Amino acid sequence: MFVVPPRPRAADAPPPAGGAAPRQAIDRTLDPDARAALARLAVRTRPVAASRTRLLPVSGVVAGLLPDGALRRGSSLVVGGPGEQAVLSLALALVAEASRTGSWCALVGHDGLGAVAASDLGVDLDRLAVVPRPGPAWAETTATLIDGVDLVVLVPPFAPRPAMARRLVARARERGTVLVALPGRTGWPEPPDLRLLVEEATWEGTAAGAGHLTRRLVVVTAQGRRSAARARQCRLWLPAPDGTVAAVDAPDGTRGPGA
Amino acid sequence: MDRLLVVRCPELLGEDEDGDALRAFATVVAAVGTYCPWVTPVRPGVCSIPARGPARYFGGETALVALVRDTVATVTPAEVGVADGLAAAVLAASEGVVVPAGGTAAFLAPRPVTTLAGPDLAGLLGRLGIRTLGQFAALPEAHVLGRFGAAGALCHRVAAGRDGEAGDLREPRTAGVLDQLRQDRPREAGYDGGPSGAGFWGGASDADVRAARSLAAVQELLGPAAVLTARLQGGRDPAARARFVTWAGGRPARETASTAPWPGRIPPPAPAVVHPTPLHAELADGRGEPARVSARGLLTTTPARLSVDGGPWAELAAWAGPWPSEERWWSRSRRRGARLQVVTDAAAHLLVTERGRWRVEATYG
């Protein structure tokens, strides 16, 4: 009887030849330009945050504050603190990664955005629309934006009525939009899914007349409902010396001119 | 009566079945549109633009005619002319002349009445012995109206240079056909059509369309200038490094090279809040004496307290600077000042002093 010899499996092949060799060959044939073009293509063809995905990505350091490690679509957050310090920076750090991966963001009611800081934190400015002075129509503006963009950062000009806040939160939940409210002193009457509080903010790098501001140590507490009921605390450099956000314990966060 | 420049393409006047002429005409309209955006397609093969503004910009009507003729000639042979009113301008175009302002009546006078009047009116005028438009224009207007009716009176007004056009000079369908043609054309680089496409290869995705629609709705609600987007540019202070431009349909902007060195710029990290109008501030030392920056760029005293916008005094935890800056010293918009970073318990600010006054330019919020 005719016996077919078994096909050699990949595991049978000698280790150096199995798999590594073809990749090396490809690597050698591609010049750096072509490889860079391929990398860019990979970024473009990476699935953007489509409506089917229920989570919007958040950069690694900030993700530790969130119960899912990402922003859940349709959720509402409140970012605040005892003072005004680091609140806007934290909100920008939250939306940065999502904007970079193709989600649209809007900032409503803040007329002093530092675009350089936002860009340094990783926000794609091409995908950030700013409505600095919505005036009395701020709620209508926010509702319209909730219909269209993926993340809305709202700085209400005055304390919203509870019914209005509830309606905005409900609309965001229905449309799968993340609503980040920065109420400041005016307060936000609707209990959010997650509340981020900047407990402490300490600048480093300056002394009496020497140096310059290099980085800010920020202690953030996150507490919310359901899975976020247990409070999480996180120490961040916000911003780190290069304007990004970094974990305090990370090796590159502890280095720097201010250390 | 408007001064009009008319482009007439003799080869594109007739309608053809496969639409080649119409497509070529669409190209002509686009080419003429580079001189003036308000191109009116009069009929297939004929379009007009208002001549006054472009003529002033491009150095006179004769120069403009030559420019437009050369531009359109790259597509198809063209006749270009300028006159008051559409009827005279089309005639001027077919002869390639520029009729001086107010010279329409004289320009039309020697022509036969058939150039303006329809066959009925022309036949009637011919039988009455009126052969040229000049003779027709010389008739008293009230009598023309009584004898030839409204259409005749309008034709008379055109012949006398008092009205722009008469009869069936225009074909209103043309603009619609061109619009249709533009929508059918596939998207090209540089052509900004409506959002379409699946987005997989970088076109507009559904999310982009949705976002553009809601931002347009906000612009409708608050005005177009209410929705902004930020662009980075070179500069020293945080306010100069960013520019807010009106949202325009999410078109990616041209990249501005912000890698150029700006010596003396505020070291990073950048402040998260840049006040659109800097806040008034007061800076004082421990004894309450105001702190200033001297002409040599040095602080006159050690700052210890800060008051922003007339608010309560806050003790300074730390400060850095001053960093003197002298910008555009060669021009009238020169600015001479110094910047100072101050840290209080509640916030860190970037202060700027000019002419002895402190202001909060940005806050590290």
Q: What is the pLDDT of residues B289-331, one digit of tens each?
A: 888 888 888 888 888 899 988 888 888 888 887 888 887 778 7
User: Any idea what the CATH number is for the domain that residue B11 is in?
Assistant: 1.10.150.20
* Over residues B327-350, mean pLDDT: 84
Q: Is residue B60 included in any domain, yes or no?
A: yes
**pLDDT: which is higher, B264 or A183:** A183
pLDDT in tens, B197-243: 344 455 567 778 888 888 888 988 888 888 988 888 888 888 888 88
pLDDT confidence of residue A27: 56
Are residues B243 and B288 part of one domain? no
- Higher model confidence: residue A134 or residue B256? A134
Q: pLDDT tens digit string along B8-17?
A: 998 888 777 6
Query: Confidence class of residue B190 from pLDDT cuts 50, 70 and 90?
Result: very low
pLDDT at res. A17:
44
Mean pLDDT for the stretch of residues B32-55: 88
Residue B176 lies in a domain: no
Top pLDDT among B334 and A256 is at B334
B136 token code pair: 């027709």
The answer to which of A18-32, B107-121, B150-164 has the lowest mean pLDDT is A18-32
Q: What is the mean pLDDT of each run of 10 residues along chain A (259 residues)?
A: 49 45 54 81 62 73 85 90 85 90 90 90 90 90 91 90 90 91 85 90 83 89 82 87 81 40
Q: A134 to chain B: which residues are within 8 Å by CB?
A: 222, 226
- Tell which A residues from 100 to 119 touch B, by Cβ distance under 8 Å: 102-104, 106, 111-119
Distance from CA of B206 to the nearest CA of A (A): 9
Q: Are residues B227 and B316 in the same domain?
A: no
Say if residue B125 is in the same domain as residue B22.
yes
Fold of A55-197: Rossmann fold (3.40.50)
The two tokens of residue A1 are 């009887």
Q: Domain check: are B133 and B81 in the same one? A: yes
Which chain A residue shows the shortest CA-CA distance from B233? A116
Total number of residues shown for chain A? 259
Q: B13 lies in a domain?
A: yes
As for how many domains chain B has, the answer is: 3
For residue B175 the two structure tokens come to 């603009």
Per-residue pLDDT, B203: 57
Say which residue the tokens 């400015």 belong to: A125
pLDDT of residue A258: 38
Cα–Cα distance, B245 to B261 (Å, whole number):
24
State whether A131 and B241 contact (CB < 8 Å).
no
Tell me what ipTM this predicted complex has. 0.73
Give the range of the structural domain holding residue B231, as residue numbers without chain letter. Answer: 207-250
- Cβ pairs bridging A and B (under 8 Å): 192
Residue of A nearest to B240 (CA): A116
Query: Do B49 and B136 lie in a common domain?
Result: yes
Instruction: Map chain A to HEC letters.
Output: CCCCCCCCCHHHCCCCCCCHHHHHHHHHHCCHHHHHHHHHHHHHHCCCCCCCCCEECCCHHHHCCCCCCCEECCCEEEEECCCCCCHHHHHHHHHHHHHHCCCCEEEECCCCECHHHHHHCCCCHHHEEEECCCHHHHHHHHHHHHHHCCEEEECCCCCCCHHHHHHHHHHHHHHCCEEEECCCCCCCCCCCCEEEEEEEEEEEEECEECEEEEEEEEEEEEEECHHHCCCEEEEEECCCCCCCCEECCCHHHHCCCCC
The pairing of strands A55-56 and B305-308 is unpaired
Question: Does residue B164 lie within any of the structural domains?
Answer: no
Q: Is B296 found in the same domain as B245?
A: no
CB contact under 8 A, A48 and B205: yes
